């Protein structure tokens, strides 16, 4: 069967689905306004339409032999390495004997390790809050920005979930979407980018992140940072390795930005040729305009309320607990008690200059990211720059307000970064790199542990994140200098 014909059929089906979903309002007895069922129909039809468009963009001569494809798929599955099956057994055990009793128990509360993380009852607090706010807007026209600051498109996208009235089913859905997103983000994408050679790195980071405090916290709150970050990384992967489908990359990236805002920092990675500055500038401007328009998804009044809510959140990030690892929160906690290590005189100075310290840390963070962009430009190499990816991730985790459940997104960029480290042949750089990589691994591993079980001065995750930022920047400079020296001598 010709793939072009399949694409045409799916595209027509998708367009019809969108049209029919919109025309439901004109049926006798239909409720005025777009309802959750219609949004669900539009979303499903849009997915079908995009799949059809993807097929239409494929090679026109490509045909699909269903029997052969199924047979080839079975052969590939049967010939997978033993490690895959060992990992599959681990995942089954993980779901049955860890995820299930901890998060999916009958009492609807985190059942293991009391006070292991700051859990709330009932479990899935953030999921409940977002859906309640969406319900208030769709059914009673109540603004969600009295308590929240997520982009307006978030509530529109999650509107179909209002059709599921059963709370345990909703939490079950969020939990398994989170786990599935984590597998794609931290295992499948790094393995695809670097191949079999780097599998040990990928498996190590995958397993450590799987049992980490940040990932558990993400599931307990019913958050969706991993799904958001997966959409962002998929967008970057498609942009750099499948340029024919860049329209889909821009769409996925925009959805991720509209879900959480912080993926916007990764726009600096949507560059394939720094010499073509005009094309790059137009791409950035186009993405910026499109995402700005999406902020009006719930109307202009809600847009202004959203902007005011974000402004308030940034000016008063709230540093009442050490689970907020943003720059401002860290500076506030440092000024509060010096993290238990500062002398009285030094603490007084810090309290007087807390704002200066926060601005200095922000300046260093931005400078490190800018250095990554500059080296990305000077290297003039195509593909995903894993150094810049990790730098941008640290920026996304520390510049805005960021609670510890966002640490769940860190495993994938660290895995990609470690897989992308080159072998350095000269002895001085090799020794320095060993020290830096060991220190980076130590800093990363501390983010896997709940703050309750670390010394008080290490409670806040900003410090290890800042160490990772500095070390990544230094290793990036070492890589660039080594490559430049190698090209000069050759």
Residue 180 shares a structural domain with residue 49: no
Residue at a domain's end among 42, 77, 112: 77
Closest to 178 (Cα-Cα) out of 406, 447, 404:
406
Cα–Cα dist 255/306, whole Å: 17
| Residue 167 is assigned to a structural domain of this protein | no
Question: Which string of b and e fits 84-102 if b means at least 16 CB within 10 Å?
Answer: eeebeeebeebeeeebeeb
Are 215 and 66 in a shared domain? no
281 and 413 part of one domain: yes
- Asked whether residue 43 is assigned to any structural domain, the reply reads yes
Same domain, 66 and 191: no
The predicted structure's pLDDT at residue 180: 95
Same-domain status, 198 and 58? no
The predicted model scores a pTM of 0.88
Task: Determine, yes or no, domain membership for 160.
Answer: no
Are residues 189 and 317 both part of a single domain? yes
The two structure tokens encoding residue 350: 């810090």
Q: Is the dihedral of CA 18, 20, 26, 30 positive or negative?
A: negative
Per-residue pLDDT of the chain (490 residues; tens, 9 = 90+): 677 888 888 999 999 999 988 888 777 776 767 788 888 999 999 999 999 999 888 776 666 677 887 888 777 776 666 556 656 766 776 787 667 767 787 777 765 555 666 777 888 999 998 999 888 888 888 888 876 778 999 999 998 999 998 999 999 999 999 999 999 999 999 999 988 778 888 988 899 899 898 999 999 999 999 999 999 999 999 999 999 999 999 999 999 999 999 999 999 999 988 778 889 999 999 999 999 999 998 888 989 989 888 887 777 655 567 788 999 999 988 988 888 888 889 999 999 998 999 999 999 999 999 999 999 988 878 889 999 999 999 999 999 988 999 999 999 999 999 888 876 566 566 778 888 888 898 889 888 888 777 788 888 899 999 999 999 999 999 888 877 776 666 5
How many domains are contained in the chain? 2
pLDDT at residue number 459: 83
Collapsed DSSP state (helix, strand, coil) of residue 447: coil
Task: Give residue 195's region: left, alpha or beta (phi > 0; psi -120 to 50).
Answer: left
Question: In the numeric block, which tokens belong to residue 194?
Answer: 């670097």
CB count, 10 Å around CB of 62?
10
Backbone φ and ψ for 109, nearest 5 degrees, come out as: -150, 150
Q: At what angle do helices 213-221 and 225-241 cross, to 10 degrees?
A: 110
152 lies in some domain: no
* 424 assigned to some structural domain: yes
Mind giving me the DSSP string for 131-164? HHHHHHHHHH---GGGT----HHHHHHTGGGGG-
445: Cβ contacts below 8 Å, ≥ 6 apart: 208
Which of 41, 59, 77 finishes a domain?
A: 77
Residue 157 lies in a domain: no
**Which residues partner with 164 through β-bridges?**
none
Q: CB of 79 within 8 A of CB of 200? A: no
Residues whose CB is less than 8 angstroms from the CB of residue 24 and which lie 6 or more positions away in sequence, other chains included:
30, 37, 38, 41
The tokens for 391 are: 């730098």
Neighbouring C-beta atoms of residue 326, cutoff 10 Å: 26
Are both 72 and 177 inside the same structural domain? Answer: no
Residue 112 lies in a domain: no
43: containing domain: 3-77
pLDDT of residue 161: 92
Give me the pLDDT at residue 91, please: 78
- Domain identity same for 190 and 58: no
154 within a domain of the structure (yes/no): no
Answer yes or no: do 437 and 303 share one domain.
yes
**Confidence at residue 290, expressed as pLDDT on a 0 to 100 scale:** 96
Give dist(CA 199, CA 87) in Å, integer. Answer: 12
Residue among 179, 182, 138 nearest 157 (CA): 138
Q: Are residues 207 and 58 in the same domain?
A: no
Quote the crossing angle between the two packed helices 125-140 and 213-221, to the nearest 10°.
30
Note whether 264 and 373 are same-domain residues.
yes
Look at residues 77, 111, 136 and tell me which one is the last residue of a structural domain: 77
Dmax (CA) of the chain: 79
Q: Based on the domain organization, do 66 and 206 belong to the same domain?
A: no
């Amino acid at each position: 069967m010709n793939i072009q014909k399949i694409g045409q059929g799916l595209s027509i089906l998708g367009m019809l689905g969108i049209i029919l979903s919109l025309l439901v309002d004109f049926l006798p007895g239909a409720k005025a306004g777009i309802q959750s069922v219609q949004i669900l129909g539009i979303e499903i039809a849009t997915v079908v339409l995009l799949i059809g468009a993807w097929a239409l963009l494929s090679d026109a001569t490509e045909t699909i032999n269903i029997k052969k494809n199924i047979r080839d798929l079975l052969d590939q599955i049967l010939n997978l390495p033993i490690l895959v099956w060992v990992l599959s057994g681990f995942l089954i055990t993980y779901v049955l004997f860890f995820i299930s009793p901890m998060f999916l128990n009958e009492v609807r509360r985190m059942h293991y390790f009391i006070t292991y993380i700051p859990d709330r009852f009932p479990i899935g607090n953030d999921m409940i809050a977002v859906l309640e706010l969406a319900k208030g807007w769709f059914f009673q026209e109540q603004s969600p920005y009295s308590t929240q600051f997520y982009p307006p498109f978030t509530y529109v996208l999650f509107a179909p979930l209002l059709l599921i009235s059963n709370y345990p089913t909703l939490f079950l859905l969020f939990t398994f979407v989170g786990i599935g997103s984590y597998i794609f983000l931290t295992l499948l994408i790094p393995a695809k980018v670097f191949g079999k050679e780097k599998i040990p790195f990928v498996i190590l980071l995958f397993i450590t992140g799987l049992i980490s405090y940040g990932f558990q916290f993400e599931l307990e709150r019913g958050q969706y940072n991993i799904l958001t970050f997966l959409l962002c990384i998929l967008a970057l992967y498609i942009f750099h390795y499948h340029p024919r489908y860049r329209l889909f990359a821009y769409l996925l990236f925009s959805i991720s930005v509209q879900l959480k805002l912080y993926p916007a920092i990764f726009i600096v990675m949507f560059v394939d040729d720094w010499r073509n500055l005009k094309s790059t500038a137009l791409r950035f401007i186009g993405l910026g305009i499109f995402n700005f328009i999406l902020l009006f998804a719930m109307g202009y009044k809600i847009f202004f309320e959203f902007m005011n809510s974000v402004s308030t959140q940034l000016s008063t990030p709230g540093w009442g607990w050490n689970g907020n690892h943003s720059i401002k929160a860290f500076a506030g906690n440092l000024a509060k008690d010096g993290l238990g290590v500062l002398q009285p005189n030094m603490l007084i100075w810090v309290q007087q200059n807390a704002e200066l310290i926060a601005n200095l840390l922000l300046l260093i963070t931005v400078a490190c990211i800018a250095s990554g962009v500059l080296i990305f430009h000077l290297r003039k190499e195509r593909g995903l720059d894993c150094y810049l990816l990790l730098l941008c991730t640290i920026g996304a985790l520390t510049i805005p307000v960021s609670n510890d459940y966002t640490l769940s997104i860190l495993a994938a960029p660290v895995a990609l970064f470690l897989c992308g480290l080159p072998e350095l042949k000269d002895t001085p750089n090799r020794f320095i790199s060993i020290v830096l990589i060991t220190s980076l691994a130590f800093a990363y591993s501390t983010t896997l542990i709940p703050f309750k079980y670390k010394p008080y001065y290490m409670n806040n995750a900003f410090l290890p994140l800042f160490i990772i930022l500095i070390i990544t920047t230094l290793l990036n400079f070492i890589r660039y200098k080594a490559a430049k020296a190698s090209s000069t001598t050759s």
